[in-house]
Structure 1
C-alpha cells in the first residue's frame, strides 16, 4: 500500500515516462496520477521503431492496466486530452480528471508564442504557464466548465487516497527539478514547482502515504534553452556527432525550422545531484541513457551484465549521495532496463500485442 513517485532530476528529458511505466508495472499499481504542470512535458517510450508519447496523461498506464488520474494541480488542454484518450482507447471509467483543473485554451498558447522570454528558455508553447497565471488571477476556465470533459470529471484526491489504502499507486512528475519555478535558475524555469512535495499536493494525496521517491537522472545530463548546467563541461555539437549522442528536442528552432539540439554535459554535477536528493526527499535513483555513457552496455537487461564503466558510475553516484541506484536504463527500447533487485516482471505476449495496437 502507499505511493511511489517518479521525479525528473536536473533539467528534464531523462526518460521519466519509461521509469514510471515500469514502476507501475513492477508494483502492480492500482492507479497512476499526474499532479503538476500541464500538457508541456513529453513522456514516451519506443516499441520497435515507433515512439509512443503522451503530453497530458501520465505514461504509467502503458504497461499496467490501471486507473489514470489527473490531479487538480495539473492544467488540462481538452484537445490534447481527447486525442490521447482516443489514441489509447481509454474509457471515462478508467480516466479521471479532477473538476478543479485549470484549462489551457488556444488563446493561452497564442499568448506564449508571442512572448520572447518563452522562446529564450526553450518553451514548448503548450499554454500551461499562461493558464496557470490565469488560474492565479481567477480568470481561467476550469475543467468543470468544459462540456467535453464532463464524462471524466471526478474527485481525484479522494480516488488517489482511497486507492493508496488498498494497494500501490504511482505519481508521475514532470520536467526536471532545476526547472522548478521555486528551485531553478530564474527566469530559465517552468511555471510551477515540479519537486515531489508539489506533485503530492497537486494530486491531493496525503503525504504520509508516500513510500519511495525515485529521481531519474541522465548519465550525461541535458538541457533545453538557456541556463547553467552546473560546474561541468559541455559537449560541442561536433563531439556529440562524433560519438553519436546527439539528442533532438521536440522544440522547433524558429530560425532554422529544424528540431533544436539539446545541450549535453560531459558528467554529472554531484553538488546539484545532492541538492535534488534533498529537495525531493529521494530514496532511490534511476540512471538513464546509460548507453550514451558507455555504448557497450546498450540493450543489457540483467544487472550482472552491466559493464565495468557503468558499475563504476553507479558506485560513484551512490557514494556521493548515499542513495541507492535501483534502476538503470540501457537503451532506446522500453525493455532495455535493469533492476538492482531483478524484480521487473516479464512483458507477456498479451501485453506486447496490446502495445502494438497503439502503433
Structure 2
C-alpha cells in the first residue's frame, strides 16, 4: 500500500486531478496543496452534484481528511473565504480541518490590477494569464517584498508594509501602464475581516506534515496546473509562475523525497490547453467540436474554451521523465466514445527540414507538425464502466499502446465525471 501519494498533471492542466485526489483521499489523513493559487480550478462531481474548488484541497470533501495549504501556494484571503462559505452552505464543515502555512504569500488587489494591466499592454502578444494576480504575487515572493499569511497576525505591521507595497505598484500602474491607482486603505479594509476567519488556521504546516509522517499517516499531495505550465520545465514563456512538476512538492511543503511513496501522473485520453503557447496536436475540425462538447472543455476558473487535440505522447514521455512518475491515470476515456478513429502523436517533425525533433526543440512550434499513429475507435460506451475487462477491445488496445510508449503502467482509468466512475487497475492505493 502506498502511504504518501503525489497527484500531478502531465499535460497543460485541466486533466481531472481534482476527481482523482477526491477519490484517493477517502482513506487518507491529510491532503496537501503545494503550489499555485486560485488560478487553478478543480471540479468534483459527487452523486451528480458539482463542486468547484480553487484553493481548498479537493480531498476535504471527505469528513475524515485534514486539508493543508502549504507554503508553495499563493493565497487570496478573499477568495479563500468565498470557498469556505461555499462549502458551509453545502454542509461541508472545515472547522479544525484546514491549516494554512504562515509562509504562504498573499494575493491582493494590486497584484490583480498589475496582472490585467500587463496583459492589456502586451495586446496580441499577451500570455493568456487568468488575470488573478498569481504572477505578480510570485514575483513579490522572489523579490522578498511579499506579505505572507503570517503577517495577518500583526495588524500594525501589516498596515505599514501594505502602504509601502501599494505605493510601489501604483508608481508602475499610473506612470507606465496608465491605469488607476489602488487605494491601500480599501485593500486593508477588505483584508481585515478575513483575519478573524482564518486566524486559527495559520500554522507551521511543515511541522504538521512531519508529525503526520512520523505517526505513519497517509498523505495525498495535490498539484495544480500541469507539468508543461511549470516555470522551469514548461513551454516558456507560456507557463504559470510556480513549479507544477514534482520539485514543487518538495519546496512547496518542506517534505523531502524519501517520504514520497508513489507519484501518479494524470493525463486526459486526449490533449487540451487553455491560453496561448505551443500545442502541436491542436485540432480545428469536427473532432475539436466533439472533444469540446462531449468533454465540456471550458475552464472552471475562467470559462474560456480549451484548445483540444489528440494525445501527445511525446510530451507525455517527457512528463514521465521529469516527474519520475510511478504510474498513470487516464481520464475522460469516455469522451473518445463514438469516434471512428483515434490518433496518438508519437513524434514531431520540422515542416521545413523534415527533421524529427524532440519536445525541447518546439520553441519554433508553428513550424512543427505531429507524426501520428492511428487506431480504430469504438462504438460501445465506456461511460461509467468500472472493470477493465468490460472495456471495448479497441479501448484496451489504445490504453496498451500508451503503456508501451511511456513504459509505465496505467493504474487508474476514469470513465466519467462522477466520483464512482473509476476503474482501479492497480489496487495498492488503499489500506
- TM-score bracket relative to the smaller structure: 0.7 to 0.9
Rounded to whole Å, the distance in 1 between the matches of 2:207 and 2:395 is 42
Aligned to 2:225: 175
Q: Which of 98, 102, 105 lines up with 1:102 in the alignment?
A: 105
1:278-336 Cα deviation digits (max 9, x unpaired): 11111110001101122521111222212222211221111112211011111122221
1:216-274 Cα deviation digits (max 9, x unpaired): 001111001111224x3x3225433356435122465xxxxxx43211112x2222111
Report whether the alignment pairs 1:241 with 2:242. Answer: no
Q: Could you tell me how far 1:64 is from its partner in structure 2?
A: 5.5
Output aligned runs, 1:187-266, within 5 Å: 187-230=237-280, 232=281, 234-236=282-284, 238-241=286-289, 244-245=293-294, 247-250=297-300, 259-266=303-310
In structure 1, runs of 5+ residues without a counterpart are: 253-258, 346-359
TM-score by length of structure 2 reads 0.73
**Residues 200, 92 of structure 1: CA spacing in aligned structure 2 closer, same or farther, 3 A cutoff?**
farther
Q: Which of 87, 108, 130 lines up with 2:136 in the alignment?
A: 130
SS state at 2:261 partner: strand
Aligned to 2:336: 293
**Residues 344, 167 of structure 1: CA spacing in aligned structure 2 closer, same or farther, 3 A cutoff?**
closer
Aligned to 2:116: 113
Q: Which of 119, 139, 145 lines up with 2:145 in the alignment?
A: 139
Q: Could you tell me how far 1:15 is from its partner in structure 2?
A: 0.4
Aligned to 2:68: 69
Aligned to 1:271: 314
Q: Could you tell me how far 1:160 is from its partner in structure 2?
A: 1.1
Q: Is the CA contact (8 Å cut-off) linking 1:31 and 1:169 kept in structure 2?
A: yes
SS state at 2:232 partner: coil
Q: Is the CA contact (8 Å cut-off) linking 2:42 and 2:300 kept in structure 1?
A: no
Rounded to whole Å, the distance in 2 between the matches of 1:128 and 1:263 is 22
What is the number of residues matched between the two proteins? 334
SS state at 2:278 partner: coil
Q: Is the CA contact (8 Å cut-off) linking 2:8 and 2:224 kept in structure 1?
A: yes
Aligned to 1:19: 20
RMSD: 2.1
Structure having the higher Rg: 2
Q: Is the CA contact (8 Å cut-off) linking 1:177 and 1:184 kept in structure 2?
A: yes
SS state at 1:139 partner: coil
Rounded to whole Å, the distance in 1 between the matches of 2:43 and 2:13 is 13
**Residues 282, 144 of structure 1: CA spacing in aligned structure 2 closer, same or farther, 3 A cutoff?**
same
Q: Could you tell me how far 1:52 is from its partner in structure 2?
A: 0.2
Q: Could you tell me how far 1:343 is from its partner in structure 2?
A: 7.0
Rounded to whole Å, the distance in 2 between the matches of 1:297 and 1:91 is 35
Aligned to 1:280: 323
Q: Is the CA contact (8 Å cut-off) linking 1:143 and 1:153 kept in structure 2?
A: yes
Aligned to 1:39: 38
SS state at 2:208 partner: helix
